[in-house]
Amino acid sequence: MLKLLSSSCLQSRTHHLTPSLLPGLRAATESTQPLLRVLNSLRGLSWKNPNFGGRVFFCSDSSDGSEKTAEVEVKTAESEVEEAEAKASSAIVSTNPRLEDYLTVLALPLPHRPLFPGFYMPIYVKDPKLLAALQESRKRQAPYAGAFLLKDEPDSDPNIVSGSEAEKNVYDLKGKELFNRLHEVGTLAQISSIQGDQVTLIGHRRLRITEMVREDPLTVKVDHLKDKPYNKDDDVIKATSFEVISTLRDVLKTSSLWRDHVMTYTQHIGDFTFPRLADFGAAISGGNKLQCQEVLEELDVYKRLKLTLELVKKEMEISKIQESIAKAIEEKISSEQRRYLLNEQLKAIKKELGLETDDKTALTAKFRERIEPKREKCPPHVLQVIDEELTKLQLLEASSSEFNVTRNYLDWLTALPWGDYSDENFDVIRAEKILDEDHYGLTDVKERILEFIAVGKLRGTSQGKIICLSGPPGVGKTSIGRSIARALDRKFFRFSVGGLADVAEIKGHRRTYIGAMPGKMVQCLKSVGTANPLVLIDEIDKLGRGHGGDPASALLELLDPEQNANFLDHYLDVPIDLSKVLFVCTANVVETIPNPLLDRMEVISIAGYITDEKMHIARDYLEKSTREACGIKPEQVEVTDSALLALIENYCREAGVRNLQKHIEKIYRKIALKLVRQGETNEPAVASVHILEPHQSKVEDVESGQDTAERNDNIPESLEISSSEQVSESSVEVNTVQTELPADQTQNPVDESTDLKGANETEEIQESEGTKTVEKVLVDEESLTDFVGKPVFHAERIYDQTPVGVVMGLAWTAMGGSTLYIETTHVEQGEGKAALHLTGQLGEVMKESAQIAHTVARAILLEKEPDNPFLANSKLHLHVPAGATPKDGPSAGCTMITSLLSLAMKKPVKKDLAMTGEVTLTGKILPIGGVKEKTIAARRSDVKTIIFPSANRRDFDELALNVKEGLDVHFVDDYSQIFNLAFSDD
C-alpha cells in the first residue's frame, strides 16, 4: 500500500525542504482537521508552480510490497556545490522540450505496485547498463523513464507474496522476455535522484507501450494517455467523489497514519480534481497490484472513481476488522491491569478520605461471608455481639493491639458451628454390628449404647449424655469411644485431662491476656464443625489441682446436663449450647473422681477380660492387625492355641489386652527377622535354605537350652540361600536352630546356648538330597519362651491342699483380680501373751481388719471349743505373701478369721476353697467390690468353691455364663456359715 511520509520522516532525511515550504509542511503535519475540510482548502499549488521541484510525493516500497513510509527527496542547503547538484537532479526541467515530446523512454519494471501520477517511488535497479542509461539521461537533462508494472508468472497466484528467489528472477529479466512481462499501461516517471542502485521516481502521467525499440537496456515507444472528458457538474460523479471522501474520513478515524499521510499530501498536491482524488484513493488503499493497475489503466473518470470507491470501502471493512481485533486483544490483556489499577486508585481515594481499609475491609468481608450462611440458625445474642465487634473493628487502627484482639475474637466467633448439627444414624442393627466388629465382649457397654440409640430413634432427636467408662488400663475404653462415634455417625474429638491443673484449659482465658485462647470445648467445636459431636474426655480420674484453680470443679458446668445448655467460655463470653454433645469419660479408678463430678456421670464398669475373651481378641483382632503391620502373610506363620493360652496365663494376666498386644508384636517382629535372615520375603516364591552338609537329613527336636548347646556343633555356620527349589506339601515338623535372641532378652538366666535355640523354632522342612525348604514358622507352647522369654507369672496356686493356718483369699487390683494366701503361724505361748504381729506391707484398713479378725476369731473359738485357750495365750504372726506389693482394703476380714481358726483348731480348710468379705465385730459379712475380677482370679487358680457376701449375689448373677460355669458359689450373711463351709468334715 502507498503511504504518505510523515513530518518526522521529512526531518530525518539528508535532503531537506526548501525554506519556503517548511512552514506549510509543519502546519500540515500538526493539523487535525477532517479530510473533507482539508481537501476543500486545497489551493495555490499547481503544475506551473515554481516550487514544483520541492513537492512531496507518495510512493510504494518496491522491496517487499508492504506499506512503507515514503521518503522525501528535496534540496539541501549544506553547501553551495550540493545545492547546485540538487537543483540539477531534482527539479523538473522546463517544458522545452515538453512532456508530450518524450515518446521513446527507458522501461523500468515495477515488481509490486504501479506508480500513480503525483506519487513517488524508490526502486532498485540491478542491471548496470540500465543504471548507466538512467544516469546518462539525467545528464542530458532528459530525466524521464517509463515505469510499468510486471505481470505475474502464468502459474502463480497474485495474492501470494513472492519470496526472495522470485524477486531475484525479476531482476534477471531482460530484453524481449522483460517486454512480454510488462503491462501496457504505465506511468511517465521523473528520475528524481540516483543513490547507488536506488532510483527515486516521481509519476507524472499515464503511458501506453506501442512497440519495443531496444532490448538492452529495454527501450520502448509510448503514447501519452489523457483522461476522457467528463462533466465536472455531473451529480453522479460528485456523489461518487463525496462517497470516496466520506469513506476516507471514516477510515481516518481508525488510522492515525493515514491521517498524517493525507495532511502532508494535501499541502503539496495540485488543484483538487476528481481524477486526482481517484488516483489518491487507489494509491493509499490496501488493494492488490492488479486492482491498482486496473485503476491506472481506466481513463474514464467516473469508472475510475467507482473502482477507487470499491478499494476504499474494502479498506474500511479491513479497518473495522482491525479495530475489533485490537479491541478484543486489548480487553483480554488489560482486564487484570485495569482491575489492579482501579483497586490501587480505590485504595488511594479511601486513604485520602480517611477510610483506611485495605486489610480491615477484607477482614470484615471475610467475617460477614463466614457468618452469613449461619445467620438464621445463630442465636440472636451471638449475632448482636458479632455485629458490635465488626463495627468496632472498623473504628480501630490496624496497628493497635486492640485490633488484633478483636480480629482473633471475631475469627473464633464466626468459625463456630452455630446451630449446625450432623445427621445421626439411629439404626440399632448397624450400630450393633459396628460395635461387635471393633470389640469382643463388653456386653453391658454395648447394651447401654444401643439403649441410647433406641431412645434417640423414638424421640426423633438425641440428647447429650455423660457416660463414664471405668476399668483397668488396656480394656479398650478409648477405642470404645471411637466405635460409639462411628456407630452414631457423629464427629469424634478426644482430649485428655490427665494431670490438667489449669482451669483455663477448660473454661478459656480472658481476652485481655496475651496469647489468650478459648477452652478445649470451643476448640473442639471449631475442629469438628458440628454442634453435636462425641467428645471423649480421657483420664478424668487423674485431674490435677494447681494454683490455677480446680479443674474438676470447672468440669461441672461442662458435664452438667442442666447447665451445659448455656456453657460460658471465658474467651468467647457468650453462652454456647452443649446439650446435644455426647460426652464419654474414661477412668481407671472411680474412687478418685470428685463426688460432685461423679454424680453427673453414668458409670459403666469394664472389669476386664477373662481368658476365653482374651483368646478371641488375640486371635481375631490383635494377631491379624499385628501380622499385617509386620508384612507377614498368613500362610507363613502359625500360632497355636496352646501358645496363645500360655502367653495369656503366664505373661499377660492383666485385665486389659495392651500387654498381650505388645507380646504378640514381639513374637511377630522376631518371626519377621527370622524370615528375612532366611531370605524369606513377601514374594510368591518361597526361598529355601540349602545346608552344606548333604548327609545331615534331619534335625531332632531340641527341648532345652542345654540340648541346644550340645547340638550346636551339628548346625552349619553358613547357609546358602536358594530360591529355585519350591515348597513341598509333604514336610516334617522339626525344631531348628537358626538365630540368637535380641540383646533385650536378658531375663533368661541360661547361658548363650539357650539364645542359640533362637526365635524360629518349629518349621516345616522338605528333605531332598540335602536340601531343606522353610515353609511355615510354627509358634507353640514349647517354643514360646524363645520368642518372649521366660514366664513372668507363675501359678498363683502354691498349695494343692492348703496346710493348717493358710487360707486362699480373693483380691481386686488395678490390673484385675488375683488370689492371695493369708498365712498364720504360732510364735510363742504363755499365759496372757495373746498378741498378733502383721507383715506383708499392709495398709491401715487391712491392719484394722486383722485386729477385728483376731477379736472375732477368739470369740468364735470360745464358742466352738470352750476348752481351747490357744488364741488367748498365743503370740501369732499373720503374713500376706508378695510382701513387695502394697495391700489394703477390708475384704480380707473373713479370710483372716478362717486362717486364725485353722491354726487354733489345727485343722486345714476345705480343698479348692477361696473367700472374700468384710467382717464386723459381731461376725456379720458385708459386701465387697470387684466380684467379676475376683471370680476370674478364682477360675485362673482352679478354685471350685467361692464364698461371697449375700449382698453381692446380684453382682454375680450379672456375670456372663462362661465366667460362672463350673463354680460352686456360696453367699453368706454371717461368719458361722463360712465356718461350716470351711471346716466341714466332707
- Catalogue the active-site residues: 891, 934
354 is in an annotated binding site: no
Q: What is the DSSP string of 229-277?
A: P--TT-HHHHHHHHHHHHHHHHHHHH-HHHHHHHHHHHHHS-S--HHHH
Nearest to 965 by CA among 612, 446, 606, 436: 612
| CA gap 634, 627 in Å, rounded | 8
Return the half-sphere exposure (C-beta side, CA atoms, 13 A cut-off) of residue 182. Answer: 29
Find the helix or strand (DSSP H, E) in which 741 lies. none
Kindly state the cell numbers that stand for 189: 516517471
DSSP-assigned letters across all residues of 847-861: HHHHHHHHHHHHHHH
Give the Cα separation of 518 and 538 in Å (integer).
19
- Amino acid letter at 239? A
Task: Find out whether 158 and 290 touch, Cβ atoms under 8 Å.
Answer: yes
Residue 607 burial (CB count, 10 A):
24
Instruction: Tell me which residue has cell 531343606.
Output: 772
* Helices 358-371, 401-415: inter-axial angle, 10-degree rounding: 20
682 exposed, middle or buried (CB, 10 Å; 0-12, 13-18, 19+)? exposed
> With contact defined as beta carbons under 8 Å apart, do 299 and 228 qualify?
yes
Contact 311, 243 (CB under 8 A): no
Q: Which residues pair with 764 in a beta bridge?
A: 733
Q: What's the sign of the alpha-carbon dihedral 750, 755, 761, 766?
A: negative
CA distance 667 to 784: 9
C-alpha cell belonging to residue 973: 450373711
Q: What are the residues whose beta carbons fall under 8 Å from the beta carbon of 652, sequence distance 6 or more?
A: 614, 659, 660, 663
3-state secondary structure of 126: coil
- 473 annotated among ligand-binding-site residues: yes
The edge-to-edge listing of strands for the beta sheet with 602-605 is 492-496, 534-538, 582-587, 466-470, 602-605
At 837 the three-state DSSP class reads strand
What ranges in 804-875 are assigned the alpha helix state H? 844-864, 870-873
Distance CA 533, CA 489 (A): 9
Q: Is 476 annotated as a binding residue?
A: yes
Task: Decide the pairing of beta strands 816-829 and 767-768.
Answer: unpaired
Establish whether 816 is an annotated binding residue.
Answer: no
Question: Would you tell me the crossing angle of helices 22-30 and 256-268 to the nearest 10 degrees?
Answer: 150
Contact 114, 186 (CB under 8 A): yes
Q: Is 963 annotated as a binding residue?
A: no
DSSP characters for 15-70?
SPPPTTTHHHHHHHHH----HHHHHHT--S--TT-TTGGG---BB--TTTSS----
286 labelled binding-site residue: no
Q: Is 221 annotated as a binding residue?
A: no
Taking Cα atoms as reference points, which of 380, 409, 388, 416 lies closest to residue 571?
Answer: 409
In eight-state DSSP terms, residue 120 is E
**Whose CA is closest to 860, among 776, 921, 932?**
921
**CB count in 10 Å sphere of residue 49:** 13
> What 3-state class would DSSP assign to 845?
helix
477 assigned ligand-binding residue: yes
Q: For residue 825, which phi and psi values (nearest 5 degrees)?
A: -135, 160
**Residues at the annotated binding site for ATP?**
471-478
**Residues at the annotated binding site?**
471-478
